[in-house]
Amino acid sequence: MNPPTPKPAKLRTRDRDTIINALRSGVVPRVGFQHIQVGRAAEIAAITEDIRRIADGGSAVRFIIGEYGAGKTFFLNLMRSVAAEHKLVTTTADLTPDRRLQSSGGQARALYSELMRNIATRATPDGGALASVVERFVTSAVQEASANGTVPDEVIARRMDALSENVGGYDFAQVISAYWRGHDTGNEQLTSDAVRWLRGEFATRTDARAALGVRTIVDDANVYDQLKLMARFVRLAGFSGLLVCLDEMVNLYKLGHSGARKSNYEQVLRIVNDCLQGTVTGLGVYFGGTPELLMDTRRGLYSYEALRSRLAENTFAVGGLVDYTGPVVRLAGLTPEDMYLLLEKLRYVFATGDPERYLVPDEALAGFMSHCGQQIGDAYFRTPRNTIKEFVNLLAVLAQNPGVRWPDVLAGVTIEREGNPDLVPFDDHTDSVTTVDGSGADELSSLRI
């Protein structure tokens, strides 16, 4: 039960506070993944291979499937961190009733705008990096022009010719040229308008034409085409490619209108086809969702026959055999050994990396696991979020009540099972959308201290 513990990474107080506050709220921390990552080595290796392929000019699409609380959002954020180490630009967005892949009322453009606001690089990991990506492209063009004895306009025009074959590529190139003119002349309004266009913030073509001289804008009909253009552009700017992470795909599953679901699934199919066929360059798209989203033949992705055939899992991967090369990656539950190691890491983070400040000994970790296992079974292995949250809560109680012993606290804990979201079937009559991963929503199964 006591596997060898690797030497922990260095921990800063600021990172410690960020991690603990996020975990106690039931959400994924934006920093410090290396301090709490355990298990799933095979899944991480498979996705890392995808990232290498994207960086080499290829493409990839994955569906990260797991129960509520199984760690989908954490896994996606971890993969964004890995992608940044491979010089990819990354971005992420949660799908909501107001942000979808396909729509006619502005929801698709809202999703695109959210993705552009969340663009991140290794140097700017918290998002808001779109302007710096464009600036890097312009700066490299100026440097090349200076080295070759030409003018930057010629270099920019030559580089942007590569985008002209794509849908919307001409106007995209015009916007980048407008950014350069604003940069060169000190016209901040022009550079700001160019970035606004790239973010999809122009609502009408008239406004875009007046500001930038282009005839198109980012709208519901061309969101995916714009993402493909952005993937090629970031490579021109010196990055390796673009990784797009779309979480909370369950919101498509919960769309009440069958036509709206079908149109969104058609857009998913288009992305799958392009990425699997290799017709896009430097683009990876990862979707996060639940097993119901994938397998429900009435409302889920499997209800769309073309998607069902492409996402069908390997029929030979049975009896403990696995295949991580397909588009679907199922997040298996943590093993008891992984869970023990996770509790060790949480204890380490809570103590800010100082073993002298540990609030509980090793036997408390085993005692906590045994206590949970006896009362709620193996569910806490499959959905580690609740266990993480409550173990951190236990440490918080011990930290604020120095005279209390951990066995006494555990003995006073009662566990309420108000209904595990992993086991509750979807209610077709539910109008609200419960987005548990990353939203801070109330947990439906928790330990009460």
pLDDT at 382: 54
250-258 mean pLDDT:
92
Band (296; pLDDT cuts 50, 70, 90): very high
Q: Classify the phi-psi angles of 136: left when phi > 0, otherwise alpha if psi is within -120 to 50, otherwise beta.
A: alpha
Residues 6+ apart with CB under 8 A from 402: none
Q: Tell me: the pLDDT tens digits for 203-218?
A: 999 999 999 999 999 9
Q: Which of 29-43, 334-348, 366-380 has the highest mean pLDDT?
A: 334-348
pLDDT at 10 exceeding the cut of 80: no
pLDDT at 221: 92
Query: How large a percentage of the chain has pLDDT more than 90?
Result: 58
Spell out the domains of the chain, with CATH numbers in brackets: 43-127+221-330 (3.40.50), 131-212 (no CATH), 336-448 (no CATH)
- Sign for the CA dihedral angle at 211, 214, 218, 224 comes to negative
Structure tokens at 57: 């000019």
Q: Which of 11-25, 258-272, 342-356 has the highest mean pLDDT?
A: 258-272
343-353 mean pLDDT:
90
Band (27; pLDDT cuts 50, 70, 90): confident
Q: Which of 162-176, 226-240, 261-275, 425-439 has the lowest mean pLDDT?
A: 425-439
Q: From the CB of residue 115, how many other CB atoms can be counted at a distance below 10 Å?
A: 25
146-163 mean pLDDT:
90
268-284 mean pLDDT:
95
Structure tokens at 260: 């709206």
**Bridge partners for 415 per DSSP:** 447
pTM of this prediction?
A: 0.82
Q: Which of 34-38, 171-175, 253-257 has the lowest mean pLDDT?
A: 34-38
pLDDT at 226 exceeding the cut of 60: yes
pLDDT at 429 exceeding the cut of 60: no
Tell the burial category of 228 from Cβ atoms under 10 Å away from its Cβ (0-12, 13-18, 19+): buried
Q: Which of 44-53, 134-143, 438-447 has the lowest mean pLDDT?
A: 438-447
Q: How far, in Å, CA of 377 to CA of 364, rounded?
A: 18
66-87 mean pLDDT:
88
317-330 mean pLDDT:
86
Task: Report residue 297: phi and psi, to 5°.
Answer: -80, -5
pLDDT at 421 exceeding the cut of 50: no
List, in sequence order, every beta strand (DSSP E) within 248-317.
283-289
pLDDT at 430 exceeding the cut of 60: no
Q: How far, in Å, CA of 60 to CA of 102, rounded?
A: 21
Q: Share the mean pLDDT of the chain.
A: 85
Band (413; pLDDT cuts 50, 70, 90): low
pLDDT at 286: 97
Compute the chain's Rg from CA coordinates.
24
Q: How far, in Å, CA of 38 to CA of 74, rounded?
A: 11
| Cβ contact 85:243 at 8 Å | no
